[in-house]
């Protein structure tokens, strides 16, 4: 190994970006027509935010001739499903995090979404994978009721936390029944499918640091500090 080769290798390591590192957004973070932004799997922003005062059109293809499948309001947070070049423009495959039609949007109308902790999460969230593997960040008690009309009672819970307001919580009822709750960008999104339902018949609100959740006939109450480690 020559000294010249060694110095070059050290320089490359020093400037290589670290995938998944959360960064503060700047004006240079906005996608441009020159380079297609990275997908989360490649270390790109995990989510976009719509930035178009007139609303953002989502099309069924990466083309100005595509059919409109949805129009989302300015500020809507969207999952980053990857971006590509088409017709001398950059298009991103996106979907609202709270559900809705998936479609393509021009990258020039998107900015990296800042999470509840003030940073832009990059890289794919691994909280679901770690929860499946039993690798949790914290355990504790939350309140739950398995049927409508039942009083809430303490239930065991374990949480795998991601950055940017992502988390996966597994709740175990006193009778051993388990359900997994998914949080994205600081919001409850859905739950695992069980014999009780598919996990998308839900209500959710957050008040004074407390999260109130309904999934099918079940009720859950837990603090944001438990979910996100605030």
One-character DSSP codes across 25-85:
--GGGS--SSSPPPPGGGT-BSEEEE--TT-EEEESSSSTTSPEEEEE-TT-EEEEEEEEE
Same domain, 103 and 156: no
Average pLDDT over residues 169-176: 97
Least confident window among 97-101, 133-137, 141-145: 97-101
Same domain, 148 and 104: no
Picking from 85, 112, 139, the residue at the C-terminal end of a domain is 112
Overall average pLDDT of the 205-227 stretch: 97
5 vs 53: which has the higher pLDDT: 53
Residue 117 in any domain: the answer is no
Domain extent for 190: 127-228
The tally of domains found in the chain comes to: 2
The answer to whether position 136 is within a domain reads: yes
Q: How confident is the model at residue 176, as a pLDDT?
A: 96
Would you say residue 172 has pLDDT above 70? yes
Instruction: Examine residue 64 and state whether it is found in any structural domain, yes or no.
Output: yes
| Residues 6+ positions from 16 with CB-CB distance below 8 Å | none
CA distance 136 to 20: 19
User: In this predicted model, which residue has the larger pLDDT, 51 or 19?
Assistant: 51
Last residue of a domain, one of 88, 112, 136: 112
**Are residues 102 and 183 located together in one domain of the fold?**
no
pLDDT higher for 196 or 146? Answer: 146
Question: 101 and 139, same structural domain?
Answer: no
CATH of the domain at 150: 2.40.128
* Per-residue confidence (pLDDT) for residue 156, from 0 to 100: 98
| Mean pLDDT for the chain overall | 87
pLDDT score at 34: 55
Burial of 28 (0-12, 13-18, 19+ CB in 10 A): exposed
């Amino acid at each position: 190994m020559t000294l010249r080769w060694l110095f070059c290798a050290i320089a490359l390591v020093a400037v290589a970006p670290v995938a998944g590192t959360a960064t503060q957004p700047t004006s240079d973070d906005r996608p441009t027509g020159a380079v297609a932004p990275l997908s989360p799997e490649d270390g790109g922003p995990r989510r976009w935010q719509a930035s178009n005062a007139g609303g953002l059109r989502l099309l069924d293809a990466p083309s100005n001739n595509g059919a409109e499948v949805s129009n989302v309001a300015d500020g809507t947070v969207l999952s980053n499903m990857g971006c590509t070049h088409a017709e001398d423009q950059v298009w991103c495959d996106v979907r609202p995090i709270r559900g809705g039609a998936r479609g393509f949007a021009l990258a020039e109308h998107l900015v990296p979404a800042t999470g509840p902790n003030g940073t832009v999460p990059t890289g794919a969230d691994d909280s679901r994978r770690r929860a499946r593997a039993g690798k949790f960040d914290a355990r504790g008690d939350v309140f739950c009721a398995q049927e409508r009309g039942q009083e809430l009672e303490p239930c065991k819970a374990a949480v795998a936390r991601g950055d940017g307001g992502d988390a996966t919580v597994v709740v175990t009822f006193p009778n051993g029944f388990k359900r997994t709750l998914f949080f994205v960008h600081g919001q409850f999104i859905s739950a695992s499918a069980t014999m009780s339902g598919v996990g998308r018949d839900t209500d959710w609100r957050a008040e004074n640091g407390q999260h109130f959740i309904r999934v099918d006939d079940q009720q859950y109450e837990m603090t944001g500090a438990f979910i996100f480690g605030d």
